[in-house]
Amino acid sequence: MENQPQRTDGVVVSAQGLIKQYGKFTAVNDVSFEIHSGEIFGLLGPNGAGKSTIIEILEGIRKPTQGTAQVLGYNVSQKSAKIHELIGVQLQSTTFFEELTSLEILQLFSSFYPNGRNPRKMLQEVFLEDKAGTFPQNLSGGQRQRLALAAALINDPALLFLDEPTTGLDPQSRHMLWGIIEDTRAKGKSVLLTTHFMDEAQKLCDRIAIIDQGKIIALDTPARLIASLNIAASITAEFRCDSSDTIQLYKLQAIPETVQAQKTGFSITLQTKNTRAAFSGLLEYADEIGAVIENAIVQSPTLEDVFLSLTGHALRD
Amino acid sequence: MKSFATTLSASIKMLWRDRMYIITTLGLALISIFAFGWLFGNSNTYTLNMGVVDQDNSAISQSIVSGLQKNTALHISTGTFNQEYALFQKGSLDAMLVIGPTFTQDLKNSNANLDVYYNQSNISTLGFTQGAVQQITDALNQQITKAPVPIHLTEKAYSVHTYSYIDFIVPGMIGLMLMWANLGAGTELVIWRQNGVLKRLAATPLTSITLITAQTISRLLLSIIQAALLIAVGISVFHVHNYGSWAALTATVVLGALTMLAIGFIIGSFAKNQQTAQGISFLISFPMMFLGGSYFPTNNAPTFLNPIIQFLPLTHINDAMRQIMNNGAAFSAYSTDLAVLALWSALGIAFAASAFRWSQN
C-alpha cells in the first residue's frame, strides 16, 4: 500500500538531536523525543521556547540545522511529500484565502489528497455547517480555529500537528476544540500539540515534554511530572500588615516541610510537603509580625509548579 | 488531476471576486481610450498629407507617384524639392518622400533608396505617418526585389488603411492593461507568504508548480477577457479596425500577459513584503508606461534610449499588436516581437519557479 504509514513499531515520531540555528541564535538545542501511536503528546513551554520551530521541522516545512527526524517512518528531510499526504497540520494562527468561503477552502484542501474527505461532513464535525458560505475574515476567532482544524483533519491523518490550537480563544471554544482533539485520539490517531497553557497540557496530553530556551528539561506523563515535585500542595495567601517589608522571605522558607517559598508584595506562595505544617507555620509567623492572613488558597500542585521548580521562573513571564 | 482542476477553479473564483482589481486595471485603460478617443476625434479619420518629389521622372517613378495619388487615405502634393520642403517646414505636410534622380539607375543595380522626411512635431499623427510610409516602401521593396525591372505597381502596393490616433491608442492601452493587471500577481504571492497562507499550503501535497500554473491560467483568461472588452469598445464606439488575424492578436495578448506575469512572479519571489512588491512593480511599470510606446510612438527617441526601449517587453507587445490591428501585416513583420516576448516568458517563468519560496525563512 502506497499511502500507508511505514511500519514503525508503535513510534509515529522520532526526533534525534534536532538543532535549529538562526544566525547566532539557537532556537532549538539538541532536542530528541519519541511519540507513540495513539497518544496526545504535548510540547509545553513559554512563548519563544522553540516549540513552533520543533513542530514545523517535524511537519517538513522547516529544515533543521542538524539532527534528523522520522515521521510515520519517513525521514522529514527526504520524504516530506510522502509525509504531507499522511499528516494533518494546524499552524499557529492559520490564515486562509480571503476570497474563498469556508466550504470552498475545504473543497480545495480535500482535492490535494488522494483520500480527501467530504468537505460538508468536515464542516459538520467542527460545528460549522451553517458557516459554509462565510468568508474566513467574517468568522470569529474560535470558528476560524475550528475551520483550520477541519482542514487539518480532511485527509483523515494518522498524525495531527496542532500549534497553539486554543491561544486567543474564549473558554467555550476551547472546550469545543478539546472535545474534537480527544475524539481524534479516540479514533486511534496520534496528536502532537504545543501549548503554553498548563491546564490544557494537563487535561489533554498523555505525555509532555517541557521546553525552555530550546531544550527539553523534563519529559513524562503529567501525573508523574507533578509527583516528582514531591509536594502536597501549593498555598497562596495574602498578608495584611503595615508594610510588605515586614514579611521576610527567609522566615517563610524556614517554615517546616516547605519546598519553596515566594513573595510578591503582600502576596506569598508556599510549596509544601505537608499542608497542615505549612498552615500552622504561616499562622505563627503572622502572629509574630502582627499580620492577618487573608484569601488563603490551597491548590494541588500543577504543571505550573513543575515548571517553576525546574526553571526558577514562572511559565508566563 | 483533481487537485489541479480544483486549484484552478479556486484561483478563478478568487480573481473574479477581487472586483477592485479587475475594475481598476480595466478602468485605467478604458479611461485612456475614451479620453484620447474624444480628445483627438473618432469620426474624422485622418488623411496623411504627403509631399512627393520626383527627381527621377522616369516611367517607374511616375507610376509610383500616380499609385500614391490614387490612395484615398493619402493627400499627395507634388513639386520640386524646394517647393515641397518649404511646405514641410511650414508644417503643412506630415511626410515628404523623395525619389532621387538616379532611382531607376539604382534600381537596376538593386540599390535604390527613397528618402523620407517625417514631421515629428505632431505626436498624435507621427505613429500613423511612419506606419503608412513604412508600408508603402515595404510594398515597393517587395515588388522591386521580386521582379527588378520592369516594375508593375499595383493598387495594393499603396493600400494604407485610414487611420486616426484612436487606432494607435487602443492597442497601446491593451498593452498597458496587460502590464498593470499581471505585474500584480507577484504582490498577491507576497501577501500570501506574509500572512502564512503559503506556509499552510506547504504542509499539504500541493506542489508549487500546480499552484503557479493555476494562477497563470486564471490570469491569462482574465487578460483575454479584458483585452476583448477593450477591443469591443474600440470597435463599437470609436470604429477601430482589426485588419489582421484574430488568432495572431490573441497570441500576442497571451504572450504579453505571460511575460508580465513572469516578471510579477519574479518580483513576488524576492520582495519581502507587500509594500516592497508594490514599490518594485511601480518602479518597473512607470517607465514602461511611457517608454513602451503605449501613448505615443518611440521610434524617434534619442539613440541612447533605444536599447532600453527595445529591452522593454511592453514595446514588443505594442508593436506586435499595432502591426496586426492597424496594418494587417504579415507574420514576418511581428515575428521578432513575439519571439522576444516568448523568450521573456520562458526565462521569467523558469527563474520564478526556481526562486519560489513557501515561507519567509
Rounded mean pLDDT for each run of 10 residues along chain B, 361 residues in total: 89 90 86 80 64 85 78 82 83 80 77 72 64 69 52 42 77 93 90 92 92 93 94 89 90 96 92 91 90 81 84 93 84 89 92 86 63
Domain ends where: B158, B181, B211?
Answer: B158
> Which A residues, 80 through 139, put their C-beta within 8 Å of a C-beta on chain B?
81, 84-85, 87, 89, 91, 93-97, 99-100, 104, 107-113, 116
Rounded to the nearest 10 degrees, the angle between the axes of helix B165-194 and helix B246-270 is 30
First CA to last CA distance, chain A: 49
Enter the C-alpha cell of residue B38. 474624444
Contact yes or no for B204 and A93 at CB 8 A: no
The Cα B253–Cα B257 span in angstroms is 6
Q: B67 and B210 share a domain?
A: no
The predicted structure's pLDDT at residue A123: 95
Of B110, B128, B158, the residue at which a domain comes to its end is: B158
Find the domain containing B215 and state its range.
2-40+164-355
Domain count, chain B: 2
The distance of A30 to chain B (nearest Cα, Å) reads 20
Q: What's the mean pLDDT in A64-75?
A: 94
Please tell me the least confidently modeled range out of A28-37, A183-192, A288-297, B130-139. B130-139
Rounded mean pLDDT of A85-111? 93
| One domain for residues B83 and B174 | no
pTM of the entire structure?
A: 0.78
- Same domain, residue pair B144 and B249: no
The answer to whether the Cβ–Cβ distance between B10 and A93 falls below 8 Å is no
**Do B100 and B184 belong to one domain?**
no
Q: Is B361 a member of any domain?
A: no
Look at residue A1 in the predicted model and tell me its pLDDT: 42
Q: What is the mean pLDDT of chain A?
A: 90
Same domain, B98 and B171: no
Residue B303 covered by a domain = yes
State the nearest Cα–Cα gap between B32 and chain A, in angstroms.
30
Which string of DSSP letters, residue by residue, matches A146-195?
A: HHHHHHHHTT--SEEEEESTTTT--HHHHHHHHHHHHHHHHTT-EEEEEE
Strand partners, B50: B76, B95
What integer pLDDT is reported at residue B220 of this predicted model? 95
pLDDT at residue B147 in the model: 44
Kindly determine whether residue A94 and residue B196, on different chains, have CB atoms separated by under 8 Å: yes
The verdict on B283 and B337 lying in the same domain is yes
Same domain, B117 and B242: no
Measuring CA to CA, which residue among B106, B158, B100, B104 is closest to residue B133? Answer: B158
Of the two residues A259 and A69, the one the predictor is more confident about is: A69
How many degrees, rounded to 5, is the angle at CA A32 between CA A30 and CA A38?
155
Residue B360 lies in a domain: no
- Please indicate, yes or no, whether residues B121 and B169 belong to a single structural domain of this protein: no
Contacts of A132 (CB under 8 A, 6+ apart): A101, A102, A103, A120, A123
- Whether the pLDDT of residue A7 is over 70: the answer is no
- Which residues 153-192 of A have a C-beta within 8 angstroms of B? 161
* Distance (Å, whole) CA A21 – CA A31: 13
Residue A100: its pLDDT value, please?
A: 95
Chain B residues with CB under 8 Å of A97 CB are: 10, 14, 192, 197
Q: Would you put residue B333 in left (φ > 0), alpha (ψ -120 to 50) or beta? A: alpha
Measured CA to CA, the distance from residue B191 to residue B199 in angstroms comes to 12
Q: Are residues B60 and B121 in the same domain?
A: yes
Q: Beta partners for B118? A: B95
Q: How many CB atoms lie within 10 A of CB A300?
A: 10
Which residues contact residue A30 at a Cβ distance below 8 angstroms, ignoring those fewer than 6 apart?
A17, A18, A19, A67, A215
B214 and B331 in a common domain: yes
Look up the CATH number of the domain holding residue B147. Answer: 3.40.1710.10
List Cβ neighbours of B155 (8 Å cut-off, separation of 6 or more).
B67, B70
Q: Which of B142, B158, B174 is the last residue of a domain?
A: B158
Of A80 and B246, the one with more pLDDT: B246
* Among the ranges given (A166-170, A196-200, A313-317, B193-197), the one the predictor scored with the smallest mean pLDDT: A313-317
Mean pLDDT of A100-126: 95
Same domain, B216 and B255: yes
